[in-house]
Chain A
Amino acid sequence: MGLSKETLLNLYDTMVKIRTFEERVGEMYYEGKLPAFDIAAGPIPGEMHLYSGQEAVATGVCANLQPDDPVTSTHRAHGHLIAKGEDLKKMMAEIFGKETGLSHGKGGHMHLFDPNLHFGCGGIVGGGIPQAVGAALAIKKRGEDRVAVSFFGDGAANIGAFHESLNLASIWRLPVVFVVEDNLYAISVPKSASTAVRSNAERGAAYGIPAVQVDGQDVLAVYEAAKEAIDRARRGEGPSLIEAVCYRFRGHFEGDPELYLAKGEKDKWKERDPINILGSQLKAQGLLTDAEAEAIQAKMTDLVAEAEAFARESPYPAPEEALEHLFA
């Protein structure tokens, strides 16, 4: 596709950054919770849905976006927000429930918002999809060339909001791209048992929306499909849908016993780690050495460590702050 070395290395950097962040959150999550797992305990309480394994999707899509392109996401949002360019410190502080977090601790891991990056997400499956349509509507009404993107899972493609949103986006010809991250499961329910079509890309046709399926472990394939869809939206030619077939390397949430997985299934998918796939390609092309890859990893480890230190040292909000921010 002839991407510049800089672009390729940025893709690599972002994926490593996401993975490093997620794996560290995954470690810290268990602090204070064991031996008898108590979801309410430790520095990071509550549910935790991590993005490890799916990095290529957020990265390949967001590399085509500007900071002011609106993005709506899901309960599994860390990767999307990092790819959008968020400051890891503010993100980590929010996940710790600290005053210095993106939302002063009101939102937490599933409810990350940043108006500067036009980013929002939430814990209700499908909840973000119509909002991306609305963001695109606002863009179209003002005649801007921005584009809205909604990330959601294969599970979300079975909720009414998905279908209503596709139809609206199509009849109004809105600049929005729907990105279905097909990681094969909605919690324990496999897509094959929940979805009437083989690929959610087939559903685009029902709404007159161009749709493609891509290999979601291959960041270059995602990048290319996203570029085409996003460019089309910017040109005023309406919505698109991308189904990225991918896999989550951790449980649905931390603590998931994963009894629904076939034996060896995950290991097989791990052989197609999106970071290794791009890494090998870059090395084969002489664009990345082992030493450089190690240096990138070290840099991301440091960044995440700084974010962690910032989050740990930050104060909690004062309890009475619970009453603030109800109305504008």
Chain B
Amino acid sequence: MAGERLLTTQKAIAEAIAQEMERDDRVFVMGEDIGAYGGIFGATDGLLAKFGPERIMDTPISEMGFIGAAVGAATEGMRPIAELMFVDFFGAAMDQIYNHMAKIHYMSGGRVKVPMVLMTAIGGSYSDAAQHSQSLYALFAHTPGIKIVIPSSPYDAKGLMIQAIRDDSPVMYFFHKGVLGLGWMTPNPRATGVVPEEPYTIPFGQADVKREGSDLTILTVALMVHRSLDAAEQLAEEGINAEVIDLRTLVPLDRETIVNSVKKTHRVVVVDEDYKSFGMSGELAAIVAEDALDYLDAPPKRLAVPDVPIPYSRPLEQYVIPTVDRIVAAARELVSG
């Protein structure tokens, strides 16, 4: 049966882009090594053969140029997808992203639309060190005007990508290298799943309760969803029932699901692969404090990168990126403490 087909997250992304390109000839892709190579992380795998170099455009290493060009093409009514190979390379293009892509619609009083997708790889845990392992979604969620999408499963990856391409606002689409199901990354069974063949969308701003629980709420995204689910399984053996919520989009944020869950469990831990200070974990803790303070039995806990760059050496990196063991320990402390 068609609905039972299994795909990796990477293949689901490439399929979503292909289906939208077939449906809408305004959609095209620009980026480094997205043509013959198929994208370093496979997001455009097979697309050059299908659509040719006019629509699958390999670019020079000119991030400001081609991301700015995506902004300009979008304002002229095209629907470009630009790939920033690793989010860490944002610096070369930040003006176009932060000051133009994000703000043109607002500055024009709503008269100029920027319907583009900027997709990019995030995440570490494979010793690629400080300039190739960051998550940084909070940096982009911080500036008003960019929708922030972070899939963790093949099903979500496809539906959210199609939604992103059809959205009339700029969307940043972050794929974590560890959830893609790439043959050269650490194997991850959760990176393969059932993906319907026909196109479908998933609305932004709807968190997914991945696992229901009564003792605490774990709020998270990307690879940390997988680690939190693994942690929840271990916790269940100890009689602790964790509710795991995959936020899926940070902008817009599903505040209601977060708050309702915390009202039910009375405890919350945020698991975040981004830096700790001034980021997602602080934002979510603040929302819980604003809307559910009276329901809390304990202060919110935050597991995030402790405000240092991602170090290279394996034991150092494992110390800064949340692991299953530390999620379990934090949950245990929260429930018993």
Residues from chain B with Cβ under 8 Å of A193 in the complex: 58
A107/B316 in contact, CB under 8 A:
no
Binds B, one of A61-69, A139-147, A155-163, A176-184: A155-163
CA distance A321 to B309 in the complex (A): 12
Asked if B32 is at the interface of the complex by the 8 Å CB criterion, the answer is: yes
Cβ-defined partner of A317 (8 Å) among B62, B184, B313? B313
**Given A108-B312, A126-B92, residue A186 in contact with residue B319 (CB < 8 A):** no
Asked if B127 is at the interface of the complex by the 8 Å CB criterion, the answer is: yes
CA distance A36 to B185 in the complex (A): 9
Residues from chain A with Cβ under 8 Å of B189 in the complex: none
Cβ-defined partner of A36 (8 Å) among B128, B187, B309? B187
A124/B313 in contact, CB under 8 A:
no
A110/B129 in contact, CB under 8 A:
yes
A323/B308 in contact, CB under 8 A:
yes
Asked if B132 is at the interface of the complex by the 8 Å CB criterion, the answer is: yes
Asked if A60 is at the interface of the complex by the 8 Å CB criterion, the answer is: no
Chain A interface residue number, banded = 35 or more
Asked if A106 is at the interface of the complex by the 8 Å CB criterion, the answer is: yes
A317/B32 in contact, CB under 8 A:
no
A111/B308 in contact, CB under 8 A:
no
B129/A111 in contact, CB under 8 A:
yes
**Given A106-B313, A259-B37, residue A124 in contact with residue B61 (CB < 8 A):** no
**Given A97-B313, A161-B92, A319-B319, residue A107 in contact with residue B129 (CB < 8 A):** yes
B184/A105 in contact, CB under 8 A:
no
Question: Interface residues of A: mostly helix, strand, loop or mixed?
Answer: loop
Count residues of B near A (Cβ-Cβ below 8 Å): 45
Cβ-defined partner of B131 (8 Å) among A122, A187, A318, A321? A122
**Given A110-B132, A326-B308, residue A260 in contact with residue B37 (CB < 8 A):** yes
Asked if B337 is at the interface of the complex by the 8 Å CB criterion, the answer is: no
Taking the nearest CB of chain A, how far is it from the CB of B310, in angstroms? 9
Residues from chain B with Cβ under 8 Å of A187 in the complex: 32-33, 37, 40
Residues from chain B with Cβ under 8 Å of A10 in the complex: none
Residues from chain A with Cβ under 8 Å of B186 in the complex: 38-41
Asked if B126 is at the interface of the complex by the 8 Å CB criterion, the answer is: yes
CA distance A155 to B129 in the complex (A): 22
CA distance A134 to B81 in the complex (A): 36
B308/A39 in contact, CB under 8 A:
no
| Residue interface mask B20-41, A partner, CB < 8 A = 1 | 0000000000001101110010
Asked if B125 is at the interface of the complex by the 8 Å CB criterion, the answer is: yes
B320/A124 in contact, CB under 8 A:
no
Within 8 A of B (CB), among A8-51: 36-41, 45-47
Some 5 contacts from A to B, beta carbons below 8 A apart, are A110-B131, A189-B33, A193-B58, A322-B308, A323-B306
**Which residues of B come within 8 Å of A, CB atoms?**
32-33, 35-37, 40, 58-65, 88-89, 91-92, 125-132, 183-187, 306-309, 311-320
**Which residues of A come within 8 Å of B, CB atoms?**
36-41, 45-47, 97-98, 104-111, 122-126, 155-156, 158-161, 186-189, 193-195, 255, 259-260, 316-323, 326
Other CB < 8 Å A-B pairs besides A188-B58, A194-B61, A195-B60, 4 of them?
A39-B126, A46-B132, A124-B92, A126-B61
Listed from nearest, the 3 A-B pairs whose CB atoms lie closest are A108-B312, A105-B313, A97-B313
